[in-house]
Amino acid sequence: MTKRQLVDQVARKAHLTKRGANEAVDVFLSEIGRTLSKGEKVVLSGFGTFRVVTMKGKTVKIPNSEKFVTIKSHRLPRFTPGKRLKKQVSR
């Protein structure tokens, strides 16, 4: 499903205009991103949890060469599905 398809579904099911549904989806996604950027987690009961993990820096060897590359430590978003979502997908 693309964002456009999601907006269409939200507009239809919530009886909103496409512009209103698009704004709602944009606000929803930006709030998740803003919260994660502060290092906090987002818990959506039944759906899942978004959190930020910090990956440690490391030095890795490039295959088929003698070169080594240093990867800096960085933060990445992670998602853990909730029970209801797992059950819905496994049907």
Identify the pLDDT of residue 88: 93
Which domain covers residue 44, as residue numbers? 3-90
Alpha carbon distance 21, 23 (integer Å): 5
For the chain, give the mean pLDDT. 95
Looking up residue 27, the CATH number of its domain turns out to be 4.10.520.10
Indicate whether this model's pTM tops 0.75: yes
Alpha carbon distance 75, 46 (integer Å): 25
Identify the pLDDT of residue 91: 85
Q: What's the chain look like in SS3?
A: CCHHHHHHHHHHHCCCCHHHHHHHHHHHHHHHHHHHHCCCCEEECCCEEEEEEEECCEEEECCCCCCEEEECCEEEEEEEECHHHHHHHHC
Total count of domains within the chain: 1
Q: Give the residue ranges of the chain where pLDDT is below 70.
A: none
